[in-house]
Structure 1
Amino acid sequence: NQSKYPWAQNVVLAGVLKLVKGRWACLPLAFRFYLPQKAIKAQSENMKVPGKDPLFQTKLEQAVDILSQVSHHFAGAAITVVCDSWFGNDGLFTPLRKHLGDSVQLLSRLRSNTALYMMPHIRTFKKQGRPEKYGQRLGSCAELAARFISKASTHRVFLYGKYREVHAFSMAAMLKNIKSPVRVVWVFRKTQWVALFSTDMELSVEQIIEYYGARWKIESGFKEIKQDIGSSKTQTRNAHAVINHLNFSLMATSIVWIYGTRLENTPERRHYVKGRNTFAFSDLRHIIAKAALADDFNAVCNKNQKLSRKSFVDALLRMVA
């Protein structure tokens, strides 16, 4: 009986990947609530933010907008954007380079039919016409995987919470869909393979595999926001309420991970899961809840004490520092 209830939300999220007590975690930094163009054109009342019709942005435009704003808080730092194959193309890379310069790098996955090219030859003599941008076509990722599987070597990589032996082969090539030289890494499993690439040519094979493996934490981060924080149980019926609720949920998730970095000892996993030895997000949330119910918690967070303006924000920034 609630036809306007948005049962699903499409969210573009950016977070920082950080090692917390020996395991990778994704700390949400910013997000955009994706609104379909047809819903905006229909001028639905529950799509107005706040009270105004929003401007339509594609997911790639939203991602560029988010990363451009977040990057200002990391001035002087080299930024590597780790994303899945849907975002890992020129629609994200070129606008980011335009806004942030050559310091931003892209690390993503290649599709099996993506063509790779040799590096262009450097001319030693003058020749009429433009210099070539790409060398000879090497073949698709699938064709090259069949060619290079016999040349793969073993690498020891920190992946999914422990060190593993991974068979991989790497080479430098030109990628047309982002118009840039890249380092491509084929990772071979028993019956399958995956091709990764990085525009940062200085990254090692182990780093490229580990960083892309850590990208999965943004997927598990959505599960943490929905189940552990409780976002899936909310009943928000308009875009403005959804945005407000998600802002609080993302902030709560980041606070839990920041709290985990400040613990003296590594938390133990409360519930046994086969193949997983590291602690989970729910374990940190349980520790915080237990501390909040302790008798001495009021000494740390005194309800009767008059706090200075924005003291919570100042305290949070000190914790991050």
Structure 2
Amino acid sequence: MRFPVWLKVIALVAMGVAIAGFFLTMPSRIPANSLTSRTADLANGATMFTIGGCSSCHATPHQEDRTRLGGGLSLATPFGIFNVPNISPDPTYGLGAWSEEDFVNAMKRGIGRNGEHLYPAFPYTSYQRMRLDDVRDLYAYLRTLPSVATPSRPHDLPFPFNVRRGLGLWQLLYVDGKALAPDSSRDAVWNRGAYLVEGPGHCAECHSPRNLIGGIDADRRFAGGRDAEGKGWVPNITPHPDGIPDYSVKDIAYLLETGFTPGFDSVGSSMADVVKNTSKLSPDDRLAIATYIKSLPPRPGKAPPRTNKAH
């Protein structure tokens, strides 16, 4: 049976696209030989754990011990439901069988232990900005926490979002694995704040609007927007009139310590959980974060939608 030329051309093009897609979506890992021998700093690992908000997502719900990281929280998003996994040291259900190399690649490249692309509901697009030693210290600290023998539930995602290989194309746009470079024109306090906010603190992940494919809109970074789970509105934290122009560095640092705003209000929703973490940081780190946030370029952000209620 002879096929028409046009059909052969389409078949060849389709084959070429499939082959190109296969190679473009291949996981890109950090080689094991980049992890030289060192002694972990557990105190620094604890700081990374705190500013990273690991317990906010991964702690088993409805129990007070925030170091029991058995997972179980469900995040309902426009892409489907993400079930937060167990990251305790349990060897069967948690990260107990993960090597340091496995963990580094998850944090810096968004690649799982078995070479699978991880969904960016896990904010590795920010964690990739962390210094390698900080990631390694966090790994060592996590291994000191209680083991929780709770299996992780699979995500509940519709097609095509349930095809992980396609995330390789998304990662080409948003993942390079590079740590945040210091700005030599700024002082040490500002640089520390920039690192904590843009890296382990992953503040932009919630406080920025996203585009149709789930990437952060770079031109409106930190300008607020709709909550990813549709449960409210995440505020603009830039000095624009839509944001927090009247907040001083001292005001922001105080909010991170106590949860109270300059107007004698208190933060709520997920930000209250963030404050549980930032209140445990050193005063110097809270000051650094506040210094950096105050320096953000003013960007307009959409106001929360109005609700018409009958009176």
TM-score by length of 2: 0.28
TM-score by length of 1: 0.28
Name whichever structure is richer in strand by fraction: 1
